[in-house]
Amino acid sequence: MVQRGQTDRVSDVWGARTPHAADEPWPSRVDQFLLDGYRVAWSPSACVLCSNGCGLDIAVADGRIVGVRGRVTDRVNRGRLGPKGLYGWQGQLRDRLTRPLIRRNGRLEEADWDEAMGLVVERSRALLADKGPLSHAFYTSGQLMLEEYYTLAVIGKAGLGTPHLDGNTRLCTATAAAALKETFGADGQPGSYDDVEHCDALFSFGHNVAATQTVLWARMLDRLTGADPPRHVTVDPRRTEVARRSDIHLAIRPGTNLALMNGLLQQQIEHDWVDHDYVRRHTVGYDRLAEVVADYPPRRVAELCDVSARDVEAAAEIFGTAERALSTVLQGFYQAHQATASAVAVNNLHLLRGMLGRPGAGLLQMNGQPTAQNNRETGADGDLSGFRNWDNEAHVRELAALWDVDELQIPHWAPPTHAMQIFRYVEQGSINLLWIAGTNPAVSLPELGRIRSALRRDSVLVVCNDGFRTETTELADVVLPAALWGEKTGTFTNADRTVHLSERAVAPPGQARSDLDIWVDYARRMGFRDRSGRPIPRWTEPEQAFDAWRECSRGRPCDYSGMSYALLRDSPGIQWPCTADAPRGTERIYLDHRFPTGDAECETDGHDLLTGAAVTAEQHAARRYDGRARLRAAHWTPPPENPAGSYPLALGTGRTVTQFHTRTKTGRVPELDRAAPDAWVELAPADAAELGITDGDLVRVESVHGAIEVTARCSGSRRGTVFVPFHYGDSEGAGRRRAANELTATAWDPVSKQPTFKSGAVRVRRIGPGRSRE
Ligand code: SF4
């Protein structure tokens, strides 16, 4: 079939440049991919294949999706789409689950909804009677819609009363949330994408934005190639496209992010680039911070991080002398050793220089998954809904009143259970009903051998909502066919707090239903009721769920109370908070430099960044933060899994530009699959030569946890390190293990509980020539 009006976004990932100077608006450029020969109707939506959330319209003809075009008026992308946004929709047209499946005699067999839900409800009731709500857990996704997350959060907390809720957002974005909470008292991005247009310095901290959010990188490139470009510093062990376009690339040794950050902070103080008046009025903790970072002069940092002291000094000077610095942070920090402490150190840099709350002075602790922000806001990740503090009785009372349930029904006697702990409880046999939605933990969680055996246990009923059969559904007991993007209505929020409404454009295939419908059906069959006898949840439709969420968020930092479906329709995207006072949303938060750190309002009292030990309410009150940001610091420590001896190479896992998550969608898209059909390991040429490996060889990569067999690419930049993309599982008929997480450890950051995918040790050996040369 011929396509018209489109550009090739695989060979030309970021598209044509539209360069411009500082403070000029970002020009528009419309990208479109449309099957030819149809008269189409356009349905408004946004892309859900990364956290950028580009606005787009879905082309519909004859009841099916036949293309997309970027929305020219949208504040996020001004019409642009990257490879996944442009082509990714095709992935959901094939191989869909259309009927519920139930495991009988070891095989998944087709069933009807009554049978499948009857089985789930029967087990759920028996477990509640026998063992109580802690026998239930939910592990969701970063791709559902706000309405679905909030519905699940209410069912889980007010209906069932279990603290065991988390999402795969734990793998990608938990550190962003943790860092924002530690410093500012609550989650929420201070910055705005428009800061790209205004900054005079751009810092990419472990953020390979050229691969992860391609349209945001196009936006940055348009500044970097325009008049008066920002100075650009990248921190990344790999020489990525972002690194290649930098003035300074700090290719640090894996596991040393915090040492480097402490060095950059030390230089701000050493050269007195500190805005002392700002620090005095708006922060607490400067003396302790200064004491810690004094131990990190450039020469020591250079030794620890294996970079030049001059580059450390030069990068620090760029930050210290900038008038408007924008920092973006992602997995190079979030999935690494001392993740939260390192991400907090980026916040500290901005606070020392008063670099917040004005155009160009931006801070984006980025998200990875497309709708991760909503998972966090609504409490489907286990936190209390609306950025409330589980350890604050008044916050619990607010929710109990809103949901009309007893306060004791809402689990708040301990912190919420994080994903790795949920799977540990499954392994130990105390969780007996695990409901997984829209994600594939049998590929994406660390140490897959353990995860597979946990999912196979007889003691747990595994229920999966998904659009496709995956490595995880193959281990499930009940599989429920889910409607996907474009087949249901709902909202989602991107990494700079921009909310889009995505309307149902086509009907879901077969008997597939939205996750909202599935969970409301479960709740109705279970008979969950509030104190007044009304059903929990009180709604059945997405717009009703959104309106309920608006009330839940009212007065909280993520305030949606001024938003509505009507307002979102035809909008260029609206950034929260959106209230009666700010009906068009809010571009940047913290304009008044008052932060939600007061005892009564904060989402957490914070933690010791080294150990994860919680700061008590009494300790917090004694510090009298009262709206001032918390400057928190920690010393660098060596990573626990250091490459040495039999495992001499440092392992990092990550993404590649054309694939998303575990390829359930992108692996089914011809353009995207062709671009990266199989897994590989990237080695530095000198390491490869020593090991007798040449480009294209089949190699075995082994850690103490497992092994994979993949193709070698001898294009790595840093000796002693290897990189493996995490998208590939075993279900595509490769006939060999190839998932990066066969190699990774069950280990997590002490504060954010995000697994440390970028701290591993492996060895590599050649098995034979690659397939193309056999
Ligand atoms: S940058 Fe992200 S949101 Fe935008 S089109 Fe690409 S995958 Fe979709």
Q: Is 351 helix (H, G, I), strand (E, B) or coil?
A: helix
Using most ligand atoms within 8 A of CB, pick from 69, 76, 84 the residue to mutate for ligand 1. 84
Spacing, Cα 6 to ligand 1 middle (Å): 16
Using most ligand atoms within 8 A of CB, pick from 32, 49, 212, 371 the residue to mutate for ligand 1. 49
Nearest partner of 523 among 104, 144, 136, judged by Cα: 136
Amino acid at 98: T
Q: Ligand 1: which residue has its CA nearest to atom 5?
A: 85
Spacing, Cα 216 to ligand 1 middle (Å): 8
Spacing, Cα 220 to ligand 1 middle (Å): 14
Q: What ligand 1 atom has the least distance to the C-alpha of 83?
A: 6
Please list, in sequence order, all residues whose beta carbon lies within 8 angstroms of the beta carbon of residue 160, skipping any fewer than 6 positions away: 128, 133, 136, 528
**172 token code pair:** 């990608």
Helix 515-526 with 146-154: angle, nearest 10 deg: 20
Q: What is the pLDDT of residue 8?
A: 82
Task: Answer whether 45's CB lies under 8 Å from 56's CB.
Answer: yes
**146 token code pair:** 């706000």
Element (H, E) at 673: helix 670-675
Half-sphere exposure of 30 (CA within 13 A, CB side): 13
Q: How far apart are CA 770 and CA 560, in angstroms?
A: 53
Task: Answer whether 712's CB lies under 8 Å from 687's CB.
Answer: no
Spacing, Cα 381 to ligand 1 middle (Å): 23
Alpha-carbon Rg for the chain in angstroms: 25
Q: Ligand 1: which residue has its CA nearest to atom 6?
A: 82
Half-sphere exposure of 670 (CA within 13 A, CB side): 3
Q: What ligand 1 atom has the least distance to the C-alpha of 85?
A: 5
Q: What ligand 1 atom has the least distance to the C-alpha of 84?
A: 7
Q: Ligand 1: which residue has its CA nearest to atom 4?
A: 54
Spacing, Cα 84 to ligand 1 middle (Å): 6
Spacing, Cα 441 to ligand 1 middle (Å): 23
Q: How far apart are CA 510 and CA 499, in angstroms?
A: 30
Residues of the chain short of pLDDT 50, as ranges, are: 1-4, 773-774
Q: How far apart are CA 118 and CA 136, in angstroms?
A: 16
Spacing, Cα 672 to ligand 1 middle (Å): 13
Q: How far apart are CA 598 and CA 577, in angstroms?
A: 19
Task: Answer whether 306's CB lies under 8 Å from 252's CB.
Answer: yes
pTM of the model: 0.96
Enumerate residues lining ligand 1, CB below 6 A: 47, 49-50, 52-54, 77, 81-82, 84-85, 213-215
Spacing, Cα 430 to ligand 1 middle (Å): 39
Task: Answer whether 137's CB lies under 8 Å from 368's CB.
Answer: no
Q: What ligand 1 atom has the least distance to the C-alpha of 70?
A: 5
CA 383 to chain centre: 16
Q: How far apart are CA 178 and CA 28, in angstroms?
A: 35
Q: Ligand 1: which residue has its CA nearest to atom 2?
A: 50
Using most ligand atoms within 8 A of CB, pick from 33, 58, 86, 213 the residue to mutate for ligand 1. 213
Using most ligand atoms within 8 A of CB, pick from 10, 56, 81 the residue to mutate for ligand 1. 81
DSSP state of 28: P
Q: How far apart are CA 643 and CA 701, in angstroms?
A: 14
Q: What ligand 1 atom has the least distance to the C-alpha of 214?
A: 1
How far from 756 is each of 237, 340, 433, 753, CA to CA, in Å?
Answer: 15, 11, 27, 9
Q: What ligand 1 atom has the least distance to the C-alpha of 80?
A: 5
Using most ligand atoms within 8 A of CB, pick from 51, 54, 221, 498 the residue to mutate for ligand 1. 54
Q: What angle do CA 564, 567, 570 make, to 5 degrees?
A: 135
Q: What ligand 1 atom has the least distance to the C-alpha of 82?
A: 6
Q: What is the pLDDT of residue 774?
A: 34
E-strand stretches of 252-393: 283-284, 325-329, 362-365
Look-up: residue for tokens 């259970």? Answer: 417
Spacing, Cα 329 to ligand 1 middle (Å): 17
Q: What is the pLDDT of residue 533?
A: 98
Using most ligand atoms within 8 A of CB, pick from 143, 215, 366, 498 the residue to mutate for ligand 1. 215
Look-up: residue for tokens 């949606």? Answer: 560
Q: What is the pLDDT of residue 731?
A: 65
Element (H, E) at 454: helix 448-455
Q: What is the pLDDT of residue 570?
A: 81
- Return phi, psi of residue 668, to 5°: -100, 5
How far from 579 is each of 1, 147, 543, 593, CA to CA, in Å?
Answer: 47, 19, 18, 19
Q: What is the pLDDT of residue 1?
A: 35
Look-up: residue for tokens 């329709």? Answer: 569
Spacing, Cα 211 to ligand 1 middle (Å): 10
Q: What is the pLDDT of residue 770?
A: 74
Q: What ligand 1 atom has the least distance to the C-alpha of 216?
A: 1
Using most ligand atoms within 8 A of CB, pick from 47, 212, 727 the residue to mutate for ligand 1. 47
Q: How far apart are CA 605 and CA 603, in angstroms?
A: 7
